[in-house]
Amino acid sequence: MKARLEELRNAALETIAATETLQALEEARVCFLGRKGRVTGILRGLANVPPGERKALGQAANETKQAIAEAIDTRKATLESAAEERRADGEALDLSLPGRRPPRGHVHPVNSVTDELLDIFQALGFKVATGPDVETEYYNFDSLNTPKDHPARDSHDTFFVEPGIVLRTQTSPVQMRVMEATDPPVAVVVPGRTYRVDNDASHSPMFHQLEGLLVDEKVTFADLKGTLMHFVHAFFGQDAQVRFRPHFFPFTEPSAEMDISCTVCGGQGCRVCKHSGWLEVLGCGMVHPNVLAAAHYDTEKYTGFAFGMGIDRLTMLKHAIPSIGLLFENDLRFLEQF
Ligand code: DAH
C-alpha cells in the first residue's frame, strides 16, 4: 500500500508539472483528487486495512493527498501568471499608431457673421455695447416713442415675463440705455438676442439683431446712407447695389428700409428675392427727436441716425441657408459645413 501511494504521488507530480494549460491542470486534479479519483480511491480502501496498520497508512495517504494539492496550487499560480503575461503582451502599446484626435469645434456661423459685422463697424469708429435680454416695456417700447396704444406695437408679438417686463423684441432699447449713460457724441453697434412670438422658415422665436446708433452735431441722412453703403460693400462685395425705400418706425423720422440687389440672381429675379431682384436687409432712419429728448439730449444741437438688421437673415443670405431653424437646431451635420 505504501509503495502504491509513493508511485501515485510521483505519477501525480509528474503529470501536474507537465500540464501546459489551466484546463489540463483541472483534468489532472479530477484524475487524482476528484470524487472518483485515484487518491480518493485509496482513502476509501482504508476501511479494509487491518486496524493496526490503518493509522499509519491513513496518515501517509493524507500526506500524499496534500502534497498533490499543493503541487496543483503552485502549478496553477504559474500557469495563471504566464497567461496574464501573454495577454499583456498582446495588449502592448503600438507607439507608431496615430493618436485619437478630440473633435475640434469652431465658431457658429451666426457668431462669425456677428464678428464680421462688428469688425466692419468698429473699423469706422463705432464702439460695441450690449444690454439685457429681459427688458422693461419702458426701454423696449415707451422710451422709443412707442406708447402702449401705439399701433406699431402690434407688429411685435411680444413675450411678456410679467406685467411691464418683456423679452426684448428688438435691440433698439439699448440705444436708450447707451444715451442715458453717455453724453454725445455716441457711435455704437449693439449685437444681441431678440425675441418674438413667431416661428416659420424665416422667423424664429429667438433671433439676433445688430443695432446701430450715431448721434452728434450735424448728422444727416447722407451720413446714414454713406455708412450703410460702406457696410453693404464690405459685407456683400463692391458689386452689391443698394436702394432705400420710405418706411415707418416709431423711433426714427424719416425712416427707411434698405434693400440690396439679390445675392442669388444679382438682381435678375429669382425665387429667393421673390422675382423682385431686391432683398430687404435692414431698417433705419434719423433718430426721432422724442427719443433724443427721452435721453435728455439737446434736440436743437444734436441729430443722429440709427439702424437695425437681422444677423440670422444676413447669415442665411451669405451661406444660402434655406431655413432659419437650421441655425438653432445645433445639428452637427449642418454646423460642420461652415
Ligand atoms: N428695431 C427695428 C425692428 O426690430 C429695426 C430698426 C429699424 C432699428 C430702424 C433701428 C431703426 O434702429 O432706426 O424691426
306 lines ligand 1 (CB under 6 A): yes
Phi, psi (degrees; rounded to nearest 5) at 308: -145, 135
Biggest alpha carbon–alpha carbon distance for the chain: 135
Distance CA 325, CA 207 (A): 10
Q: Which residue's CA is the closest to the ligand 1 atom numbered 2?
A: 308
Whether the pTM exceeds 0.75: the reply is no
- The answer on pLDDT for 338 being more than 80 is yes
Distance CA 194, CA 169 (A): 5
Residue with more model confidence, 140 or 152:
140
Distance CA 195, CA 169 (A): 5
Q: Which residue among 248, 307, 312, 314 is best mutated to probe the pocket of ligand 1, counting the most ligand atoms within 8 A of its Cβ?
A: 307
DSSP per-residue codes, 209-264? EEEEEEEEET--HHHHHHHHHHHHHHHH-TT--EEEEEEEETTEEEEEEEEEE-TT
Q: Which residue's CA is the closest to the ligand 1 atom numbered 6?
A: 308
- Distance (Å) from CA 283 to ligand 1 centroid: 5
pLDDT in tens, 272-315: 889 999 999 999 999 999 999 999 999 999 999 999 999 999 99
- The answer on pLDDT for 151 being more than 90 is no
Q: Which residue's CA is the closest to the ligand 1 atom numbered 12?
A: 307
Phi, psi (degrees; rounded to nearest 5) at 211: -100, 150
pLDDT in tens, 194-203: 999 988 888 8
Residue with more model confidence, 49 or 260:
260
- The answer on pLDDT for 114 being more than 90 is yes
Distance CA 327, CA 321 (A): 9
Task: Go through the chain and tell me how many residues it has.
Answer: 338
- Distance (Å) from CA 238 to ligand 1 centroid: 25
**Most confident listed range (63-72, 165-174, 267-276):** 165-174
284 lines ligand 1 (CB under 6 A): yes
Counting atoms of ligand 1 from 1, which one is nearest the CA of 308? Answer: 8
Confidence of residue 173 (pLDDT cuts 50, 70, 90): very high
Counting atoms of ligand 1 from 1, which one is nearest the CA of 212? Answer: 12
Is 109-335 CATH 3.30.930.10?
A: yes
Sequence ranges of the domains in the chain:
2-91, 109-335
pLDDT in tens, 177-190: 999 999 999 999 99
Residue with more model confidence, 313 or 320:
313
pLDDT in tens, 24-41: 888 888 888 888 888 787
Q: Which residue among 139, 143, 145, 172 is best mutated to probe the pocket of ligand 1, counting the most ligand atoms within 8 A of its Cβ?
A: 172
Residue with more model confidence, 81 or 115:
115
